[in-house]
Structure formats: C-alpha cells, structure tokens
Amino acid sequence: MKLKDFKVISLLAVLFVGVSSWAQQTVSGIVTHAETNTPIENVEVYDKDSGLLAKTNASGYYQFSTVKENLTVVFFSYEFDVLEIPVQVSTSQTLQVQLTPLSVSLSEVELFARKSQVFALSRLKDVEGTAIYAGKKTEVVLVDQSMANLASNNARQIYSQVVGLNIYQNDDAGLQLNIGGRGLDPNRTSNFNTRQNGYDISADVLGYPESYYTPASEGLESVQVIRGAASLEFGTQFGGLVNFKMKQPNPNKPLELITRNTVGSYGLYTNFTSVSGTKNNWSYYGYFNYKQGDGFRPNSQFESKNVYAHIGYKFSENTSVTTEFTYMRYLAQQAGGLTDAMFYSNPYQSNRERNWFQVNWLLYNAKLTHKFSETSDFTFSVFGLQASRYALGFRTNRVDQIDPGNERDLIKGDFKNFGFETRYLNTYKLLNKEATFLVGAKYYNANNTQTQGPGSAGAGADFNFYTNAFPNYPNQSDYQLPNLNMAVFGENIFYVSNKFSVTPGFRFEYIKTESDGFFKEIRLDGAGNPIFNETVFEKQNFERSFVLLGVGLSYKANSALEFYGNISQNYRSVTFADISIFNPAFAIDPNITDEEGFTADLGLRGNFKGIISYDANVFSLVYKNRIGFVQEVLPGSRIISLRTNVGDAIMYGVESLFDINVKDIIGLNAKYSLNYFINTSLINSEYTASNKVGIKGNKVEFVPELNFKTGLKFGYKNILASVQYSHLSNQFTDATNSVESNIGGVIGEIPSYHILDVSVSYNYKRFKLEAGVNNLTDNAYFTRRATGYPGPGIIPSAPRNWYTTLQIKI
C-alpha cells in the first residue's frame, strides 16, 4: 500500500467530514380515524420530495426530525384517503392528524395498484437506510406488481422495465440469473456486484464474481439496480449493483402462510411456501422453494431446493438485530452446446448425455441497526459464504463430436469467504443548508480452491476424481486461491439549494490476490501413450491499492422533473477462472491483467401527476484493457480463440423508459387499471485502441444496437392481464466481430430475435390463479454462445411454453 494513497484518503476524509448540527426540529403526533377517533397503526409518513420519514405505531404515534424549514408531509394508509399537509418547521411541534376512510371498497389488487400510482417508488430516494443514491441512475423492480412468470424467475419479464439489460435466456426455471448491459457480458451477472438484503452473495466478489445462486422471485419484495456509479459504495464493478430485497415479516399478524404451486411445460413443477409474522419484539420470514423439470431439450432435467430464513429482534425503537440464513442445492443435467449447423438443423437437439452441474450455496448474515439520533444511523453487517460448484462432462472444441464414453472432465470449485461492512450516515447543516454524510468500511476474506482432473467414465452425476484410474488425463490442476480485500468509502450530499445537490464520493481499495498450486503438462502420442509428463508449480502474489473517485448531480425542478448526472471510476480484477482452468474451447493469454475505466450518466426523470413515469438518459462506458476474445492463427494455420486484454473501448447511447397510466388519461373508474410502457436502448460501441491486429474500429461484444421492450397491462377488478414484446438486434461475441462460427460454436454472431409473452391472473379472497404463455409465437432463437458449461457452443432458448400457478394465503 502506497503512502500517497493514504494522503489522498486523508485529504478526502477531511473534505467529507461535516460537523453535525443540533438545529434539528422534531415533528410528532397521533394519527386517528376520522369517524371512530381510534388510532391507526402503520400509517406511512412521507416527505413528498425525499421519501419515508416514519410509520405510526399501535397507538397511532409517529415522530421524525428534519432540518428543512418547509416540507409537504404525506400520510398514506391503504384503506384511507391520502392526506397532504404543507408544514413550516421553525420549532419542534405537534401535528395531530385524522384520516378519512375510502368511500369505496377496493380489492387487494386495486389497493396495491393505488399505492403504486400515488407514490412512484420505482426509483430510490436520495437517502435510504445507510446508503446514498442522490444523482445516481437507480431502478427498482417491484416484484409484486410484476405479471412475470415468477415461478421460473423469467428475467425477460421481471426486468422488462430496466433499460438496456442484455439477458441470457437458458430457461432452466431461473436457477441462475444472467444479466448484463451496456456491453457487459451477462454470464452469471458477473459484471454487477450482486447482493441480497445488502450483503454479497457471489462466489468471490473480486476473484470469481459469478452468481450461481439467485433468490426465488416469489420471495422478493423488489430488486434494486444501480448503474456504474454504485462503484463507490458497493464495489468496483463496471455494471454497478443488483440488490435482491427479500420480503419482510408481516407486521400485523403472528402467522401468515402463503403457498404457491406451479405446473408448466416440459414437466415443470415448483412449490413455494412461506411463513411470516411478528410477535412482540420478534419478527420472522422464511420460505422453502422446490423446483423440478425435464427441460425443453433432451438431457436437461433439473432439481432444486432452496431455503431462506430471516429472524429479527427489536431491542428498542432505535436498535434492532436481524439474522439470515440461505441454502440452495441444485443438480442439473447439461444438454451441451451446438454448432450453427446443428442449431439450424434442429435447435432443440442434444448429443451430450453425461454432462452434469451441481451447486451448493450456503449464505449467512447478521446485521445490527442502530439510530444514535434522529439524524445519525449506523449499521454493522457480518456475512459469509460456504459454497461449491461442480461441473462434470465430456467437452471438446468440436461440439458436434459424439461423446466416446471415456473419462469425463471434472472441475470442482469450493468457496469459503466471510467479511463485514459497516456504515455510518449523518444528516447535518452546512452553511444553513441540509447535507448528508456517509462513511463506511468493508473487509472481505476469501479462501477458494479450484481443482480439475479426470472424472468417472460412467453416465451419472458422480463428482469424484478418478486420478488413479486415469493418471495420464491431460487436464489436471489444483490451486489454492486466497483473496483479501479492504475498502473505505464515503459520499456526501451537499444541497446547494432546495433543488440542487452535489454528491462527491470516493472509494479506497486494497486487494491482495494469491494463487498457489500446480498444473500438469501431459502430451500423448497417437496411441494415447504419454510421451511427456511434467508438473508445473506456480505461486503468485498480486497486491494493488488505488482510489476511485466520482460525483453525482441532481436538480429537482419540481416533483415531476429531475435532472441528474454522475461520473464514477470503475475497476475489474482478472478472475481465477482466467488463470487456473484448462478449457479446450479457448486459450488464455498468460499476460492477461485487470480492467479499468469509468461510467457516466446524464438524464432526466420524474412522475407527471401520476400519469407518466419516465426516465431518459445518455450514458458512456469507457474501458481500458477490456478482456475479451480474439481469433489468433497459430503455426500450421491452426486458429484458436484467445481470451486476452483486447484493448480500449467505449460504449455510449441513449436509454429511455416511459410508463403511461392510460386509465387516468381516458378517464376509467377505480375498477380498471391500464398501463402501457416503452423501454428503448440505442447503443453504439467501438474499440478505440488495441495492440491486436484488426481490432481497432470494431464493435464491442454483447452490444445489441437496439434493445426494445414494450408492454400493456390491463385490469378489471381482480382480473389482470399483460402482453409484452421484446426485440434485440444482432450482437457479436468476440472482438474480431466474427459472423461465421468456428467448430466449437463459441464465437460468431448472435442474430436478432423477438419474443412475445402473455400472462393473466385472478384474485379471489385467499386464492390467486396465475397463468401465461412465454414465447407465444414459438420463435427458435438463442441468446448465448457459451465458452464453457453449459456448453461450449450455442445454448438455445426455450420454445413456446406455458405455466399455471395457484396461490393460497392464510
């Protein structure tokens, strides 16, 4: 760690630290029923501009503090009229409120829709909890509002209103989430920092940031997506943050039981059963999720079991503790990849019967939340992971080659990591203006292993090595891969005026990556006898430290219009998979190194009178030393795919989302709902520099120039229906912009495709029935050319398929 880094951090800390002001004014009161004069519990008290301030307790009492002199306080409860009160705060004061019951009886669906229309909670507020989002591009998927096929985690539907996402669609009931965007590889969402309730869930945040575990969508409250500017608070990745926010305990009942059973095409069956409740100071939420199916191709059966448990205890109004436990285990048969010729001959064929993939994922977390005062919040989170991913099968760079039935290639990865993250947030006044300061630190320690060698010659899911039986197997390696990461970060919102804010930030990173192990170099003659057998030992220690800087701007002209902009530096470490695994489908440059660059956004967003919710922006993502694939010619005119630092690149474009409340425009009554959305992303990309021949000026991989989604959702009383159309233009998978594929199907173009999905639901008392058809027009298409498992080669997407879900709530 360099001395100049400490000087930079010290200077930044001085710039960010503000002195807390005691000029906070308290507003409190009791909310009662206008007709019965009884207290109303769980009324949400909002600042109309900045979000939730408090909730009423069982006595109807609420209290919050503010440094604002003028604000509009909004009181919301599902079964009462919304009340807005302008308040001038000069001293602490009491504000007694009475709410009037709604004059009409609304259904459960209408109640939920009512809240979402009154409050556009599809974007994060400037401050939520101990996190700052001012000036950042934020998108929140409200899962309960989605008409998606939740049972199979259909990402194309769930993330339909998140602009610019590129999604791998394997359709294995959503066991893994594969999303990217703006030129980022979607593979296992590895270019985002993925979290669950704020803590990391990927295999190794820097060394192996792939997410083999994805929470059950039926157990999600929302999914928060913060783009590249999240690199200052949540990690260094170019993509930003994806945070799965789980459902919370029911605060009004000691026991709530929900069970959902789904059947669908190709033998799909899932069960989701959750329990939830609150009793005195204790609260809990948990679920069990089971999935099984045959898959839409031969040799693609799967079975998954997932358990999640959350327990909370509230010591006082200011202090609480939560603990969480997650376990998932799944086994999936891998149908393998296809060449282009195989795909266009029969896109749903398979010539791999012995390929298997198994994942075990255990997550744990404990979090302390404490409010020192009405303006000072503190959180301390301890988290950890014990996990493994085992891949077994016959794989070769000739995808159309028939499996000869010999020993299979086995790769075993075991991941053990733990860490903590602490945050302190304080609201204060600076020069008579409101300001919010955040500082945090993170410690992360990982000890992973990657082992490769001969598996069994059988057909089943036997994940044992058979080195004694096959000592001359050429692909053998064994590595210990420890990783140490320490970070300090901070941001501060400076409100220059009531409308304009500036949010600078920094992140200091120290990374120590090590590898200690060996690989065997074995050469065989034509008869399969060893003519060379050498064990090569390697030990590496790679330390680096650096500072990332960024700034966000926000100008809120009024409640319907906000201008925002941000720019933040990014960094992505080369992964262990790039240095420790032999893959016959491609070779790895031994000099491959880390990527760096920055992202920037400039846009406008808002909600105009509850009629149109919109977000439109331009963006740029700049890469230095971008990692990708190029085609290289070896002696003897043999061509290979080489994974290397291709060069410097830029991606830029325009993104927009318009969600239109058609019901209010045409004047339908409260029994109806009608919304139409348009989600458009136009992106250009270019390699601006490269030391590889024929790369400069080429398009960047995984960048469809047009990414378009649109949909209509209609409701009448308790019936809801939706239709969604998706279109992505063609995209390249390697930096040489190959259109034609090689013998492995790994490189080449991904052609344009379009998909139509329909769904419907009906709610009656404790019962809810959902049904739908995905890929209604039965298009044959693919979104992925896999370089390893589940390929290599083209991985087809699902043909037309249906599902039906019955939910019972007790």
* pLDDT of 257 over the 60 cut: yes
Instruction: State residue 151 phi and psi, 5-degree precision.
Output: -60, -35
* Region 622-628 average pLDDT: 92
* Region 686-691 average pLDDT: 95
* Region 327-337 average pLDDT: 96
Rounded CA gap, 543 and 550, in Å?
Answer: 23
Using one digit for the tens of pLDDT, what is the confidence trace for 445-493? 999 999 999 999 999 999 999 999 999 898 899 999 999 999 999 999 9
* pLDDT of 1 over the 50 cut: no
* pLDDT of 207 over the 90 cut: no
Higher pLDDT, 13 or 137: 137
Question: What's the confidence (pLDDT) of residue 114?
Answer: 53
pLDDT band (50, 70, 90) for residue 42 = confident
Q: Which residues pair with 716 in a beta bridge?
A: 672, 719
Rounded CA gap, 393 and 359, in Å?
Answer: 15
Using one digit for the tens of pLDDT, what is the confidence trace for 495-505? 999 899 999 99
pLDDT band (50, 70, 90) for residue 639 = low
Question: What's the confidence (pLDDT) of residue 634?
Answer: 60
DSSP for 582-636 reads --TT-EE-TT---EEEEEEEEEEEEEETTTEEEEEEEEEEEEEEEEEEEEEEETT
3-state class (DSSP) for residue 372: strand
Question: What's the confidence (pLDDT) of residue 118?
Answer: 36
Higher pLDDT, 648 or 7: 648
Residue 792, preceding peptide bond in cis (omega within 30° of 0): yes
Count CA within 13 A, CB hemisphere, residue 658: 8
95-109, 227-241, 502-516, 706-720: range with lowest mean pLDDT? 95-109
* pLDDT of 11 over the 50 cut: no
pLDDT band (50, 70, 90) for residue 586 = low
Higher pLDDT, 541 or 338: 338
Question: What's the confidence (pLDDT) of residue 533?
Answer: 86
Cβ neighbours of residue 98 closer than 8 Å, sequence gap 6 or more = 31, 32, 33, 34, 37
Rounded CA gap, 454 and 142, in Å?
Answer: 46
The closest of 487, 509, 565 to 228, measured between CA atoms, is: 565
Cβ neighbours of residue 511 closer than 8 Å, sequence gap 6 or more = 206, 483, 484, 485, 542, 543, 544, 545, 573
The closest of 61, 137, 19 to 600, measured between CA atoms, is: 137
* Region 343-347 average pLDDT: 96
pLDDT band (50, 70, 90) for residue 668 = confident
3-state class (DSSP) for residue 157: helix
Rounded CA gap, 571 and 548, in Å?
Answer: 8
Contact status, residue 686 vs residue 698, Cβ threshold 8 Å: yes
Question: What's the confidence (pLDDT) of residue 166?
Answer: 95
- Positive/negative CA dihedral, 452, 456, 458, 462: negative
Contact status, residue 200 vs residue 194, Cβ threshold 8 Å: yes
Higher pLDDT, 348 or 559: 348
Higher pLDDT, 35 or 634: 35
* pLDDT of 267 over the 80 cut: yes
Using one digit for the tens of pLDDT, what is the confidence trace for 142-161? 898 889 999 999 999 999 99
Question: What's the confidence (pLDDT) of residue 170?
Answer: 82
* Region 684-694 average pLDDT: 93
Using one digit for the tens of pLDDT, what is the confidence trace for 388-411? 999 999 988 789 999 999 999 999
The closest of 186, 137, 182, 146 to 164, measured between CA atoms, is: 182
* pLDDT of 309 over the 70 cut: yes
Q: Torsion over CA of 642, 645, 646 and 651, rounded to 10 degrees? A: 130
Both tokens of 102, joined, read 């709604």
pLDDT band (50, 70, 90) for residue 106 = low
Question: What's the confidence (pLDDT) of residue 772?
Answer: 97
* pLDDT of 378 over the 70 cut: yes
Beta-carbon count within 10 A of 809 CB: 15
Neighbour-count burial for 196-213, b at 16+ CB within 10 Å, e otherwise: bbbbbbbbbbbbbbbbbb
3-state class (DSSP) for residue 178: coil
Output DSSP code: residue 581.
Answer: -
* Region 334-345 average pLDDT: 95
Beta-carbon count within 10 A of 411 CB: 26
Residue 298, preceding peptide bond in cis (omega within 30° of 0): no
The closest of 135, 156, 136 to 147, measured between CA atoms, is: 156
Question: What's the confidence (pLDDT) of residue 727?
Answer: 98
pLDDT band (50, 70, 90) for residue 71 = confident
Rounded CA gap, 782 and 752, in Å?
Answer: 9
Question: What's the confidence (pLDDT) of residue 746?
Answer: 87
Rounded CA gap, 162 and 724, in Å?
Answer: 14
Question: What's the confidence (pLDDT) of residue 50?
Answer: 61
Question: What does pLDDT average to over the chain?
Answer: 89
Q: Torsion over CA of 739, 744, 750 and 753, rounded to 10 degrees? A: 130
Instruction: State residue 100 phi and psi, 5-degree precision.
Output: -95, 130
Output DSSP code: residue 651.
Answer: E
Using one digit for the tens of pLDDT, what is the confidence trace for 46-67? 887 666 788 888 788 998 877 7
Using one digit for the tens of pLDDT, what is the confidence trace for 420-454? 999 999 999 988 888 999 999 999 999 999 999 99
Indicate the length of the chain as a whole number.
810
Q: CB burial class (10 A; 0-12, 13-18, 19+) of residue 242? A: buried
Question: What's the confidence (pLDDT) of residue 670?
Answer: 79
- C-alpha angle with apex 140: 136 to 141, nearest 5 degrees? 155
Greatest mean pLDDT among 113-122, 274-283, 640-649 lies in: 274-283
Rounded CA gap, 541 and 213, in Å?
Answer: 29
Output DSSP code: residue 148.
Answer: S
Q: Which amino acid is at 499?
A: K
Is the model's pTM score more than 0.85?
Answer: yes
Question: What's the confidence (pLDDT) of residue 582?
Answer: 59
pLDDT band (50, 70, 90) for residue 15 = very low
* pLDDT of 27 over the 70 cut: yes
User: Beta 97-99 vs 25-33: how paired, if at all?
Assistant: parallel
Question: What's the confidence (pLDDT) of residue 500?
Answer: 95
Instruction: State residue 286 phi and psi, 5-degree precision.
Output: -160, 160
56-60, 243-247, 304-308, 373-377: range with lowest mean pLDDT? 56-60
Count CA within 13 A, CB hemisphere, residue 526: 0
